[in-house]
Amino acid sequence: MKKVFLMLVLFSLFALVIGQWSAMATNVSAAPPQQDATAEAMAEEGAADMRDIRIVVVSHGQASDPFWSVVKNGVDQAAKDMRVTVEYQAPGTFDMVAMAQLIDAAVATEPDGLVVSIPDADALGDSITAAIDAGIPVISMNSGSDVAKELGILTHVGQTEYEAGFGGGERMAEAGVTNALCVNQEVGNAALDLRCEGFTAAMEEAGGTVEVLAVELADPVDAQEKVVAALTANPDVDGILTLGPTGSAPALAALEAEGLLGEIPLATFDLSPEVLEAVRDGNMLFAIDQQQYIQGYLPIVLLTLYNENLNTIANDVLMTGPGFVTQETAERVIELATAGTR
């Protein structure tokens, strides 16, 4: 009898637990509409809380490019954090005439701020000064550190390219490189030319030599063939520096095709998933990191503060680099890159 009674008690407790679990499940299934309603209310509140500030970003790099996609991620996050409206624009290719036209068109819309990269001051200078003359605050980022102050720009967010190239040359020389290639995928881009100049100066100071190899940004197959041809023509080449991921990918392919991967030190400016993997795996000596995410992020913050509080930065250049990603740090940076911030 006691066993029967005990079973009845256990059954009752079990039924009670099941009933409570069912009620909880019902409440959980009913929760999403309440959460959706809350999210909708928050979205409406956020829209109402937007600042009445519109900023236009005009860069020479397309958001589809691995490097520039991270810049745009920084721009987008800053727009969200600052609660301002931001438009990101770039020509379809490296085209200074088209870029100048984009700047002119942006100025005509009378934005509250303008962010520009300046790969060619001669081509873009008039459009930028027209914006400043129109009373539009301008901040430059990425390229243009050497001309920003002269043009009247509030500040430049980026790295000084000559010094970054010089640092790369010092590291290459320390690794034993004496005859190097500097692979330039955008000859005429002042920032990239300065990188090669700085690299050359450091290598020559260490007793080495540098040959600048021009390749076509939009044709990686041809770029690979030109690297192979340069290695064939000059068998003394014992190091290669590329000026970005679009240059490093063909160089990596060329070294692999020639059986020289890991034998001839290769390094590059800027990060991409492929670059970071190559550094991690020991197929690339280092990558020069200018932290392009904050090059996109900080100008939006600074222009918001300027519009609301007339805040300015005393430095002509707000330095974001150079930093150096090596095999010791590559794995951690890869983890951060998956979030699109490195």
- pLDDT at 203 (0 to 100): 98
Residue 116 pLDDT > 60: yes
Pick the CATH number of 54-159+292-321 from 3.30.750.80, 3.40.50.2300, 3.10.20.600, 3.40.47.10: 3.40.50.2300
Kind of pairing between the strands at 286-289 and 323-325: antiparallel
Residue-wise pLDDT for 150-176, tens only, equals: 999 999 999 999 999 999 999 999 999
pLDDT tops 50 at residue 31: no
CATH superfamily of 161-289: Response regulator (3.40.50.2300)
Q: What is the pLDDT of residue 45?
A: 54
Give the range among 13-17, 61-65, 114-118, 295-299 with minimum mean pLDDT: 13-17
Query: How high is the pLDDT of residue 15?
Result: 43
pLDDT of residue 191: 87
Phi and psi dihedrals of 214, rounded to 5?
A: -85, 130
Q: How many CB atoms lie within 10 A of CB 194?
A: 20
pTM for the full predicted model: 0.74
The domain locations on the chain are 54-159+292-321, 161-289
Give pLDDT, residue 313.
93
In terms of pLDDT, which residue wins out, 85 or 67? Answer: 85
pLDDT band (50, 70, 90) for residue 217: confident
Q: Is it the case that residue 22 has pLDDT exceeding 50?
A: no
Average pLDDT, whole number, for the chain?
88
pLDDT at 87: 98
Q: What is the per-residue pLDDT across 172-215, written as a single tens digit (0 to 9) for each?
A: 999 999 999 999 998 888 889 999 999 999 999 999 999 999 99
**Which pLDDT value is given to residue 303?**
98
CB 145 within 8 A of CB 139: no
pLDDT tens digits for 277-317? 999 999 999 999 999 999 999 999 999 999 999 999 999 99
Q: Which of the pair, 6 or 102, is modelled with greater confidence?
A: 102
pLDDT at 99: 98
Q: What is the pLDDT of residues 233-281, one digit of tens each?
A: 999 999 999 999 989 999 999 999 999 998 999 999 999 889 999 999 9
Asked if residue 96 lies in contact with residue 122, where contact means CB atoms within 8 angstroms, the answer is no
CATH fold match for the domains 54-159+292-321 and 161-289? yes
